[in-house]
Amino acid sequence: MSRSRIKRIGILTGGGDCPGLNAVIRGVAKAAIRRSGAEMVGILDGFQGLVERRVIPLDWEAVSGILTQGGTILGTNNKADPFRYPVPDGQGKTAVQDVSDAVVKYIREIGLDILVCIGGDGTMTIAHQMSLKGIPIVGVPKTIDNDIAETDITFGFNSAMTTAAEAIDKIHSTAMSHHRVMIVEVMGRYAGWLALESGLAAGGDVILIPEIPFRISQIAAEVRRRSEHGRKFSIIVAAEGARPEGGEMIVRRTVADSPDPVRLGGIGQNVAEGLEEATGLECRVTVLGHLQRGGVPTPFDRVLSTRFGVKAAELCVSGASGVMVALRGREIIAVPLSRVDGKTRTIPPDHKLIEVAREVGTCFGD
């Protein structure tokens, strides 16, 4: 075991919960301890732990047996950005304040040679900014939406996709038995990867994604076409960020006592109402929500998480910094955080998977 200059490595998890976080933590810690004998420091609740100075030691024993556990043993927080840290403004509201200098000071005080930040695009942006302030950083991308730039895929996506596809499987039997249109709303505000892959995996008849604006009339036509061919039910998988052409929402219900009346219901409810109006068919909506974030990671994600974690440890020990681990083809590589910050990886309209879905008869509402 060669000893590197890196003596103490901090690790934190930021942003929303995601299956595989613990597997990454275990991978980083075991590989770093094994490689360099470095001491691992766990930072609690994401960047909040750096502000509030809450850390714990992470030895081999502490990370044993967590590979298959959902969630993160370190806790997380998706609001604690040190550059815009929420603080009470003294008048019962919340203001934001830049506490990043204090964070830098604390990191140096506790002697962290490098910081491993596991999180989504928000976390990667903070990580990049921290690295610009001189803190050595290795990022590990995490997002069930799969929309982080520069990596083919991130851990958590396979688990979320599997949960979504198995939920759609369950809904299939009800759709068939009741001859209904069933709409399943899955996560994906800016990118449709989760809807596309889970819809393809579960045989969704219509898939709606943010990248392809849809028209209710086209969906209605597809539903009717199926009905004429004896398939009296349809399954629609909609990413939460899917939007109709022109951006016009269908639902006309508004909330009265809001100063600025907002439209109600997510995209699933919107499509249901539009489609019932257009076809007279009964439509039902299921919003998968938090189910997609939780639970035991799939074996695929446990392997990927472990690979990401080990690579991050390798980078730490070798003295790399300002980089994020990424999957490119079959390889795990390092990419500069500067290439990730501020970008979102959406589905190109001519992506092969969209073509494949169309070939087996999937309608995208366009």
Site for its own copies in 15-44 (CB under 8 A): 16-17, 19, 21, 26-27, 30-31, 34-35
Size of the site for its own copies (CB under 8 A): 91
CB of 286 to its own copies, least distance (A): 5
Binding to its own copies, residues 156-175 (CB under 8 A):
158, 161-163, 165-167, 169-174
189 contacts its own copies (rule: CB under 8 A): no
Site for its own copies in 103-122 (CB under 8 A): none
Contact between 71 and its own copies per CB under 8 A = yes
Candidate list 3, 178, 189, 225; residue touching its own copies; CB under 8 A:
178
- Catalytic residues, by residue number, are 145
Decide if 200 contacts 304 (C-beta within 8 A).
Answer: no
> Concatenated DSSP letters for 21-59?
HHHHHHHHHHHHHHHH-PEEEEETTTHHHHHHT-EEE--
Q: Of 45 and 211, which has the nearer Cβ to its own copies?
A: 45
Tokens describing residue 80: 């604690």
Give the distance, in angstroms, between the CA of residue 154 and the centroid of all CA atoms in the same chain. Answer: 8
Cβ partners under 8 Å of residue 187, min gap 6:
144, 145, 160, 194, 239, 240, 288, 292, 293
Instruction: Tell me if 316 contacts its own copies by CB under 8 A.
Output: no
Site residues (CB under 8 A) for its own copies, limited to 198-227: 198, 200-203
Q: Residues 254 to 283: which contact its own copies by CB under 8 A?
A: 254-258, 261, 264
- Work out how close the CB of 132 gets to its own copies at its nearest, in angstroms, rounded to a whole number: 28
Buried b or exposed e, range 20-56, using 16+ CB within 10 angstroms: bbbbbbbbbbbbbbebbebbbbbbbbbbbbbbeeebe
**Residue range at the interface with its own copies (CB under 8 A); choices 80-88, 121-129, 195-203, 215-223:** 195-203
For its own copies, which stretch binds (CB under 8 A), given 1-9, 107-115, 248-256, 271-279?
248-256
Contacts to its own copies from residues 282-311, by CB under 8 A: 284-287, 289-291, 293-295, 298-300, 302-303, 306-307, 309-310
* Contact flag: residue 87 with its own copies (CB under 8 A): no
> Do 23 and 54 form a contact (C-beta atoms < 8 A)?
no
Using CB under 8 A as the binding rule, whether residue 56 contacts its own copies is answered as no
Quick one: which segment of 135-143, 192-200, 210-218, 273-281 binds its own copies (CB under 8 A)? 192-200
Q: Is 84 in the site for its own copies (CB under 8 A)?
A: no
Residue 14 CA, distance from chain mean position = 11
Out of 88, 92, 177, 247, the residue judged to bind its own copies by CB under 8 A: 177
Long-range contacts of range 216-220, CB-CB < 8 Å, 24 or more positions apart? 216/244, 216/250, 216/271, 216/274, 216/275, 216/278, 216/365, 217/278, 218/363, 218/365, 218/366, 219/271, 219/275, 219/363, 219/365, 220/275, 220/278, 220/279
**Which residues inside 327-366 make contact with its own copies, applying CB under 8 A?**
329-332, 352-353, 356, 359-361
Side-chain half-sphere CA neighbours of 70 within 13 A:
14
Q: Which is nearer to its own copies, 131 or 146 (CB)?
A: 146
Question: Which position has the token pair 């019962």?
Answer: 92
Is 135 strand, coil or helix?
coil
160 within 8 A of 147, measured Cβ to Cβ: no
Please choose, out of 3-11, 65-73, 242-250, 342-350, the segment that lies near its own copies by the rule CB under 8 A.
65-73
Contact 109, 10 (CB under 8 A): no
